[in-house]
């Protein structure tokens, strides 16, 4: 008998070290299998017929011609949905396939499976749907006085403030201290944001494979495997065990994969044809295939004393949720909760409303409500600084939130909240000197377009601070499961296999899990099993900047349980023996907000908070309205950086997305119809649009988090739109109260 | 229609639709899904391949046009079992997040360094401006290109 296997010395990959991504090599060689790369023998291609109307009654659907076409195996409508006709991330208000009426442009109406994708497209085009247009609800200001898009009040009666008006998704208020408190000075402003798209590069796609016993395996790019399963199974009239969701390679997510896209549709086609069915959206379809960032209209008033101390903030926020609820109720609340920004304040009145319209449905996107209000609140802080004749950085320092302070919801911050340090560190990064003229046009606004030699170009430097919550809030039972299987390999070495359904969406959670396990087990041989609903409990969603914290907590707990068991067995395992334990981790409990006043009802409504500050330099050609972002310097409160290289990557990437919202990204609609569903017309930052980003990590371990981690994905996106716009105002002297800012606004708008 | 072409040094045959893109044929008929399908309309560069040593978006090339030509895809960049220095640099610098843009960027960077072995920062930005990345903000991609150029 061989000696029992024991732990081998750990050489690399602990928490806190920059470790190369384990999936980097297959990704650079092209071997990594994304959800659009999957293949199965006998596979058919699925395609979705979508509504050409934003709001219409469906009078009839005639599939007779489509079913007869060559290569077509199935044409399905709402009549073919085997179970519940509706689903939804939080409220079941969304039809699997439209029945009675369509509520937005691009809503799925029918499905086709065929041998070639082109055959499927042609068959879909042969389906005849008769529509009768209905009154459009497309102006969010008018929505609450128009006929209800959803006669059932899906989101009412869930503990939110009652609002019987038609089309109101959630209406909430946070009232703190004396909302009428007066002060020496007051500044007012009105701000608007367009619809931003996540624009992940990997289109919605996946493969559904019938298991021959009535169940189905779905391989898909998603952010939360188990919640997909829980929505899919009842609509297919199957048990949860009969639906297995497997994580296929994810080409970016940013909130846009929280809701279902093709999962149910591919599964319906696969079960109907008893063949594997693959669906891949093209880019145009992707713009209809997921929810977007809520566009918003925000009115704000800030009152402060001469010394710069904020006395009272009043804000009204109106969000357009589009046709279905998705996560709108939580976005509405987040927008309100973080409306004031990371500043201590005693008096506030924040009113936040989200309405249903026939515009594109909105839901989660990186920053989740805090992006919208940060843009408004930071513009207000600049205005206030100007009114007071005070340095904008100084004004922010004077009001900086700190541990021990109370938020407008009455929640006392008990964890780390180094806002002052974040501001000081960002402000201390040396700003590059203005570049001389003449210079290569590539380094001027307009770039290779060669539109200027530098005349009309003005430089501006801006600053902003932002913060948001980490983890799910308001009483949501938020947990993550992890399972560790420890065994001896044939060489007699101990190996740990980790099971955790945390979605690797590109953010690097795989490394976080492996680093945690290596650190806890003091073991080099650690691997992560593919994510699936079959092998382990729910991990919750890769969103709300929560996955690092939650996965770390769960994997740590499971590793410790395994380690204890190993010690109990004398520190070694005989070959053939194994220890296999699953543990569930929960972050500190949160509770709901009081519906009328938005005040906490338990110790806290949010778990933890992370802040970022950013300085931006821009050059603007004020004659042509063209912009070049020259430089960005930022400092971010990250708790403990598990993998510093990956944390810098999140900061840089998150910053780019906020820059995109400030300067170029907007889904355009006319009467609810999207008019720019392509990368030709919906622009995202390119290599020429991104300046150098100098980032500093502010590390103060979060006391209640495993290893002191905080989430890092969202704060850079929250702050960067505001910071870029601060620089734009400084360069142009104009108010620029709408993002994305357009050349016309720079050249013609009021100052 | 039957098409014959060379892919990564091997002769291949495919039965294609007249309107089929080279990207679709590579991915769905020839078992080479490394080239990516982020937009299929020439806007993102994720499908970049070399066609007779020229950088092209394979989504904009009809397979029929590629008859008799030589294609190199991301799967053909590594030398035997060793990563190409460009691939190695992307791994080292953390230039990969979701990685959906990566195959196109690898091919585009190999092409850039073939023509400009020591590109300036502005030349890097310009050369890669046709390759969208939604995750990284490009900083580490620039680091990777500089590292590969030095290697
Ligand atoms: S897929 Fe070819 S350029 Fe986007
Ligand atoms: S790494 Fe995700 S698109 Fe570039």
DSSP labels for A244-312? Answer: EEEE-B----TTTTSS-SSHHHHHHHHHHHTS-EEEE--HHHHHHHS-BBPPEEEEEEEEE-TTS-EEE
pLDDT of residue A5: 62
Which positions in chain A touch B75 (Cβ < 8 Å)?
A: 29-31
- B97 and A32 within 8 Å at the Cβ level: the answer is no
Average per-residue pLDDT in chain A?
Answer: 96
Q: Where in chain B is the domain with CATH 3.10.20.30?
A: 2-75
Per-residue pLDDT, A1 = 36
Tokens of A740: 């994305």
Half-sphere exposure of A145 (CA within 13 A, CB side): 3
Q: Which residues of A touch B101 (CB under 8 A)?
A: 201
Atom number, ligand 2, closest to the C-alpha of residue B97? 1
Token representation of residue A550: 């939650």
The percent of residues above 90 in pLDDT, for chain A, comes to: 96
Q: Would the CB atoms of A653 and B134 count as touching at under 8 Å?
A: yes
Q: Please name each of the domains of chain A with its CATH number.
A: 24-30+479-586 (3.30.365.10), 42-134+204-280 (3.90.1170.50), 411-469+607-748 (3.30.365.10)
Distance CA B97, CA B89 (A): 14
Nearest in space to A480 (alpha carbons), one of A509, A453, A500: A500
User: How many whole angstroms from its chain centre is CA A583?
Assistant: 27
Contact A172, A336 (CB under 8 A): yes
**Chain A residues 2-21 with a CB less than 8 Å from chain B:** 18, 20-21
Sign of CA dihedral A388, A726, A658, A666: positive
Phi, then psi, of A491 in degrees rounded to 5: -80, 0
Which chain B positions have a beta carbon within 8 Å of A27's beta carbon? 96, 99, 102-103
Residue A502 near residue A480 (C-beta atoms within 8 A) = yes
Q: What is the ipTM of this complex?
A: 0.99
Contact B83 A28 (CB under 8 A): yes
* All residues at 6 or more sequence positions from A404 whose CB lies less than 8 Å from its CB, including other chains: A412, A413, A414
The residue of B97, B109, B121, B126 whose CB has the most chain A CBs within 10 angstroms, and thus the best one to mutate to test that interface, is B97
Radius of gyration of chain A (CA): 26
Question: What residue owns the CA closest to ligand 1's atom 3?
Answer: B42
The answer to whether A629 and A724 are in contact (CB under 8 A) is yes
Q: How many CB pairs under 8 A join A and B?
A: 182
- The Cα A111–Cα A50 span in angstroms is 9
Confidence of residue A100 (pLDDT cuts 50, 70, 90): very high
DSSP strand pairing (A243-247 vs A216-220): parallel
- Express each pLDDT in B75-114 by its tens digit: 999 988 899 999 999 999 999 999 999 999 999 999 999 9
- Closest chain A CA to residue B129: A687
DSSP per residue over A75-86, as a string? Answer: EE-GGG--S-SE
| pLDDT at residue B31 is higher than 70 | yes
Residue A54 has pLDDT above 60, yes or no: yes
pLDDT in tens, A306-351: 999 999 999 999 999 999 999 999 999 999 999 999 999 999 999 9
* C-alpha span between A98 and A109 (Å, rounded): 5
β-pair partners for A57: A101, A132
Q: Distance between the two ends of chain A, CA-based, in angstroms?
A: 84
Segments of chain B assigned to CATH 1.10.150.120? 85-150
Place of tokens 């990704």: A27
Ligand 2 center to A21 CA (angstroms): 14
Distance from CA of B122 to the nearest CA of A (A): 7
**Mean pLDDT value across residues B40-47:** 97
- Burial of residue A404, with CB atoms counted within 10 A of its CB: 0-12 exposed, 13-18 middle, 19 or more buried: exposed
Which pLDDT score is estimated for A12? Answer: 65
Which residues neighbour A374 within 8 Å (Cβ) at sequence distance 6 or greater? A338, A341, A367, A464, A466, A718, A719, A721, A722
> Which of A201, A652, A684 has most ligand 2 atoms within 8 Å of CB, for mutation?
A201
Given this model, what pLDDT does residue A376 score?
98
Q: Which of B95, B136, B142 to mutate to test the pocket of ligand 2 (most atoms within 8 A of CB)?
A: B136
Asked if A470 and A608 touch (Cβ cutoff 8 Å), the reply is yes
- Burial label for A18, CB within 10 Å (0-12, 13-18, 19+), is middle
Q: Whose CA is closest to A544, among A361, A711, A413?
A: A711
pLDDT > 60? residue A283: yes
Residue B129 is predicted with a pLDDT of 97
**DSSP-assigned letter for residue A143:** G
- Assess whether pLDDT exceeds 70 at residue A371: yes
Residue A492 has a pLDDT of 85
Is residue A23 less than 8 Å (CB to CB) from chain B?
A: yes
Q: Which backbone phi and psi does A550 adopt, to 5 degrees? A: -70, -40
Q: Where are the beta strands (DSSP E) in A115-242?
A: 128-133, 168-176, 185-193, 205-210, 216-220
**CB–CB contact B98 A645 (8 Å):** no
pLDDT digits (tens, 9 = 90+) for A7-47: 555 556 899 999 999 999 999 999 999 999 999 999 999 99
> Which among B36, B102, B136 has CB closest to A649?
B136
Say yes or no for a CB contact (<8 Å) between B75 and A506.
no
Q: Which chain A residues are Cβ-neighbours of B100 within 8 angstroms? A: 34, 200-202, 251-252, 506
Q: Mind giving me the DSSP string for A523-562? A: -S-EEEPPPBTTTS-----S-TT-HHHHHHHHHHHHHHHH
Helix or strand holding residue A724 (H, E):
helix A715-732
Q: How close is the Cα of A158 to the center of ligand 2, in Å?
A: 38
The partner residues of A44 in beta bridges, in order of sequence, read A277
Structure tokens at A744: 């016309």
Which residues have CB under 6 Å of ligand 1?
Answer: B 37-40, 42-47, 57, 59
Output A584 or A158, whichever has higher pLDDT.
A584
Could you tell me whether strands A669-670 and A673-674 are parallel, antiparallel, or unpaired per DSSP bridges? Answer: antiparallel
CA pair distance A158, A4, nearest whole angstrom: 56
Mean pLDDT of A120-134: 98
Contact partners, residue A304, CB within 8 Å, separation at least 6: A183, A184, A185, A186, A310, A311, A384, A388
CA atoms within 13 A on the CB side of A261: 33
Residue A182, C-beta contacts closer than 8 angstroms, at least 6 positions apart: A303, A311, A312
Q: What does the pLDDT read at residue A2?
A: 44
Give phi and psi for A25, each to the nearest 5.
-65, -55
> What gap in Å lies between CA A440 and CA A257, rounded to an integer?
41
Give percent above pLDDT 70 in chain A: 98
Neighbouring C-beta atoms of residue A523, cutoff 10 Å: 21
Closest CA of chain A from B120, distance in Å: 12
Sequence-distant (≥ 6) Cβ neighbours of residue A509 within 8 angstroms: A502, A503, A542, A547, A548, A551
- Cβ atoms A507, A547 nearer than 8 A: yes
HEC sequence for chain B: CEEEEEECCEEEEEECCCCCEHHHHHHHHCCCCCCCCCCCCCCCCCCEEEECCEEEEHHHCEHHHHCCCEEECHHHCCECCECCHHHHHHHHHCCCCCCCCHHHHHHHHHHHHHHCCCCCHHHHHHHCCCCCCCCCCCHHHHHHHHHHHHC
The distance of Cα A414 from the centroid of its chain, to the nearest Å, equals 26
φ/ψ of A190, rounded to 5, equals -125, 135
- Strand order of the β-sheet with A296-304 is A168-176, A347-356, A310-322, A296-304, A185-193, A738-739
Third-level CATH fold of B2-75: Ubiquitin-like (UB roll) (3.10.20)
- Mark yes or no for CB contact B98/A201 under 8 Å: yes
**CB distance from B107 to chain A under 8 Å?**
no
Q: Give the tens place of pLDDT for each residue, A415-444.
A: 999 999 999 999 999 999 999 999 999 999
Sheet-wide strand order for A108-114: A72-76, A108-114, A44-50, A277-280, A205-210, A216-220, A243-247
Give the other-Cβ count within 10 Å of B12's Cβ: 17
Architecture of the domain spanning B85-150? Orthogonal Bundle (1.10)
> Residue A11: its pLDDT value, please?
53
């Amino acid at each position: 008998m061989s000696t029992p296997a024991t732990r081998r010395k750990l050489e690399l990959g602990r928490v806190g070290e920059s470790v190369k991504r384990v999936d980097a090599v297959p990704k650079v060689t092209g071997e990594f299998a994304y959800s659009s790369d999957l293949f199965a023998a006998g596979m058919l291609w699925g395609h979705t017929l979508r509504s050409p109307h934003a709001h219409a009654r469906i009078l009839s659907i005639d599939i007779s011609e489509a079913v007869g076409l060559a290569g077509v195996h199935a044409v399905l409508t709402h009549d073919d949905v085997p179970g519940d006709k509706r689903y939804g991330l939080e409220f079941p208000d969304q039809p699997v396939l439209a029945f009675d009426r369509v509520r937005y442009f691009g809503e799925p109406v029918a499905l086709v499976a065929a041998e070639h994708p082109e055959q499927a497209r042609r068959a879909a085009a042969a389906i005849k749907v008769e529509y009768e247009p209905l009154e459009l609800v497309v102006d969010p200001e008018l929505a609450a006085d128009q006929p209800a898009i959803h006669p059932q009040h899906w989101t009412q009666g869930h503990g939110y403030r009652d609002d019987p008006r038609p089309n109101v998704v959630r209406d909430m208020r946070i009232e703190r201290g004396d909302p009428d408190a007066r002060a020496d000075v007051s500044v007012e402003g009105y701000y608007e944001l367009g619809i931003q798209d996540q624009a992940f590069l990997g289109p919605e796609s996946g493969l559904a494979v019938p298991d021959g016993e009535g169940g189905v395996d779905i391989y898909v790019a998603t952010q939360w495997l188990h919640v997909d399963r829980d929505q899919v199974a009842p609509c297919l009239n199957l048990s949860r065990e009969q639906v297995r969701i497997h994580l296929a390679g994810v080409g970016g997510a940013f909130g846009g994969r929280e809701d279902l896209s093709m999962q149910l549709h591919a599964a319906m086609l696969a079960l109907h044809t008893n063949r594997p069915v693959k669906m891949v959206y093209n880019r145009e379809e992707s713009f209809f295939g997921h929810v977007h960032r809520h566009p918003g209209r925000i009115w704000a008033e800030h009152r402060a004393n001469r010394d710069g101390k904020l006395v009272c903030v009043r804000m009204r926020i109106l969000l357009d949720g589009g046709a279905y609820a998705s996560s709108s109720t939580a976005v509405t609340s987040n927008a309100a909760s973080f409306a004031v920004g990371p500043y201590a304040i005693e008096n506030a009145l924040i009113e936040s409303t989200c309405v249903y319209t026939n515009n594109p449905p909105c839901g989660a996107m990186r920053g989740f409500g805090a992006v919208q209000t940060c843009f408004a609140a930071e513009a207000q802080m600049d205005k206030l600084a100007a009114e007071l004749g005070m340095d904008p950085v100084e004004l922010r320092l004077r009001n900086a939130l700190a541990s021990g302070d109370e938020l407008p919801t009455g929640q006392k911050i008990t964890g780390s909240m180094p806002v002052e340090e974040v501001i000081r560190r960002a402000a201390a990064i040396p700003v590059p000197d203005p570049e001389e003229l003449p210079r290569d046009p590539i380094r001027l606004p307009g770039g290779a377009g060669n539109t200027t030699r530098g005349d009309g170009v003005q430089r501006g430097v801006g600053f902003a601070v932002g913060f948001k919550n980490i983890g799910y809030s308001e009483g949501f039972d938020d947990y993550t499961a992890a399972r560790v299987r420890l065994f001896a390999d044939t060489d007699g070495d101990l190996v740990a296999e980790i099971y955790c359904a945390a979605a690797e969406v590109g953010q690097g959670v795989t490394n976080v899990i492996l680093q945690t396990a290596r650190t806890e087990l003091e073991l080099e041989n650690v691997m992560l099993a593919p994510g699936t609903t079959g092998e382990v409990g729910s991990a919750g969603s890769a969103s709300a900047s929560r996955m690092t914290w939650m996965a770390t907590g769960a994997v740590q707990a499971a590793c410790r349980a395994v380690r204890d068991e190993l010690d109990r067995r004398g520190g070694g395992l005989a070959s053939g023996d194994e220890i296999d334990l699953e543990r569930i981790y929960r972050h500190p409990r949160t509770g709901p907000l009081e519906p009328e006043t938005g005040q906490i009802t338990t110790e806290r409504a949010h778990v933890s908070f992370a802040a970022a500050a950013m300085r931006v330099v821009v050059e603007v050609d004020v004659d042509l309205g063209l912009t070049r972002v020259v430089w960005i310097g930022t400092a971010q409160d990250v708790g403990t950086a598990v993998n510093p290289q990956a944390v810098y990557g999140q900061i840089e990437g998150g910053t780019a997305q906020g820059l995109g919202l400030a300067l170029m990204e907007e889904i355009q609609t006319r009467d609810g119809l999207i008019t720019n569903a392509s990368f030709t017309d919906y622009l995202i930052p390119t290599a020429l649009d991104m300046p150098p980003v100098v980032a500093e990590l502010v590390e103060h371990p979060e006391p209640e988090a495993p290893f002191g981690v905080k989430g890092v994905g969202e704060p850079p996106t929250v702050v960067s739109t505001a910071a870029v716009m601060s620089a734009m105002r400084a360069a142009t002297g104009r108010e620029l109260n709408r993002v994305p800012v357009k050349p016309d606004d720079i050249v013609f708008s009021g100052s | 229609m039957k098409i014959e072409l060379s892919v990564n040094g091997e002769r291949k045959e495919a039965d294609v639709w007249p309107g089929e893109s080279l990207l679709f044929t590579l991915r769905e008929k020839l078992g080479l899904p490394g080239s990516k399908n982020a937009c299929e309309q020439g806007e993102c560069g994720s499908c970049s391949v070399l066609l007779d040593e020229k950088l092209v978006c394979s989504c904009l090339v009809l397979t029929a046009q590629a008859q008799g030509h030589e294609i190199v895809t991301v799967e053909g960049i590594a030398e035997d079992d060793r990563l190409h220095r460009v691939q190695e640099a992307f791994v080292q610098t953390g230039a990969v997040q979701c990685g959906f843009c990566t195959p196109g960027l690898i091919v585009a960077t190999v092409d850039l360094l073939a023509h400009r072995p020591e590109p300036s920062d502005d030349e890097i930005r310009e050369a890669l401006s046709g390759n969208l990345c939604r995750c990284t903000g490009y900083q580490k991609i620039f680091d990777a290109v500089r590292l590969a150029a030095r290697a």
